Amino acid sequence: MNQGNREFLMELLNTPSPSSREMAIQKKWINYVKNFADEIRTDNAGNAIGVLNPNAPFKVLLAGHCDEIALVINRIDDDGFLHFDKMGGINPKAAVGMKVTILGFNDRATGVIGVNAQHHGGLKDDFNLEDLFIDCGYKSKEEAEKYVQIGDLAVYKTEPEVLMDRYISGRGLDNRTGAFIIAEVLKQLSEKGCNVGVYAVSTVNEETNMGGAYFAAAGLEPTMAIACDVTFSTDYPAVNKNKHGDVRLEDGPVLAKGAPVNIKINQLLEKTARQLNMKVQYELTPRMTGTDADRMRMTGPGVPVSLVSLPLRYMHSPVETSSLKDIDEEIELLVTMLGNLTGEESLNPLD
């Protein structure tokens, strides 16, 4: 990963993009991709789409969702404390004691998620989000309402960090790394050339309803689609590998195996990995993948899908951690695989 690429990744990771409020990050993604895409498109869901070879009949949709989990303000009490629900899969235990940025209707504000002092009994073992609150320093409901209203969103106030020039850690790597990867795939393919139409889509709303993926696939009607997301790495203490599998950082991209996944696409990915002498890992998705692939697959007459994932430690926490090497390898795998396509491939498993 060169310095320019890394700066773009950091820019994405530093941009709040809670599900339903992805506009700021999408504008930055478009501003980057427009330099090498043949076309830039958007849709009414808020997806940002970079296109290569728009006239090619064989169309590949690459989806990487740009939204992140967040908190949504649902009550302001008389003393000015903000109470909240979750927008996506928030872990209450990870929220305790965190700083947050409120994306208020009037301006941004900094707050802290307060917690009952241990001296006063602390938190009960089975606490949930209803037991937590945000303190922005407001002294009353009237003062708070000058800056915040019901439905405003908040994200953890953290900055991405590079660890040992090897790993990257921060909030929302799930899945702004995917939005980064598909942009870089499009960039490299624009330089190397390809025989098929490639539609890189920075999708919205994956963390809440996957509506962006539906709009993208229904609108583009692709020949095939690949979701580029993250998956659970299990290479840290206290993870039961017998139950959750053995997936490691720096051991390569992760391919999904299961009923939703098109076998022919996976075979193309595996063939490419062998060509590159690249290790790949596997995860099982027997019924659903839990990603944009599920919604894309069910559009129109049906779309053959696959899922390529980045191993990620500490999913849905403020310190999600992944490998820069794995990011580079996933980009290389996809660029080479798509560059090898002739546009005549059959994705029918019975052919």
How do the domains of the chain map onto residue ranges?
3-68+171-340, 71-156
User: What pLDDT was estimated at residue 272?
Assistant: 98
Q: Which two tokens stand for residue 225?
A: 């689609």
What is the reported pTM? 0.96
Which residue among 22, 206, 283, 320 is the active-site one?
Answer: 206
Which neighbouring-strand residues pair with 214?
A: none
Q: What is the homologous superfamily of the domain 3-68+171-340 according to CATH?
A: Zn peptidases (3.40.630.10)
Number of H helices, E strands in the chain: 10, 17
pLDDT in tens, the chain (351 residues): 888 899 999 999 999 999 999 999 999 999 999 999 999 999 999 999 999 999 999 999 999 999 999 999 999 999 999 999 999 999 999 999 999 999 999 899 999 998 777 776 667 777 888 889 999 999 999 999 999 999 999 999 999 999 999 999 999 999 999 999 999 999 999 999 999 999 999 999 999 999 999 999 999 999 999 999 999 999 999 899 988 999 999 999 999 999 999 999 999 999 999 999 999 999 999 999 999 999 999 999 999 999 999 999 999 999 999 999 999 999 999 999 999 999 999 999 999
Give the per-residue pLDDT at 122.
67
- Binding-site annotation, residues for Zn(2+): 65, 174, 207, 229, 316
Whether omega before 175 lies within 30 degrees of 0, making that bond cis, reads yes
Query: Which pLDDT score is estimated for 338?
Result: 98
The packing angle between helices 173-192 and 3-13, to 10°, is 140
Rounded CA separation 17/204 (Å): 9
- Partnered with residue 224 across adjacent β-strands are 60
Q: In the prediction, which pLDDT does 275 show?
A: 98
The DSSP 8-state label assigned to residue 107 in this structure reads -
Our answer to whether residue 206 is catalytic in this structure is yes
Q: Would you list which residues are annotated within the binding site?
A: 65, 174, 207, 229, 316
The answer to whether 57 and 343 have CB atoms below 8 angstroms apart is: yes
Record: fold of 71-156 = Elongation Factor Tu (Ef-tu); domain 3 (2.40.30)
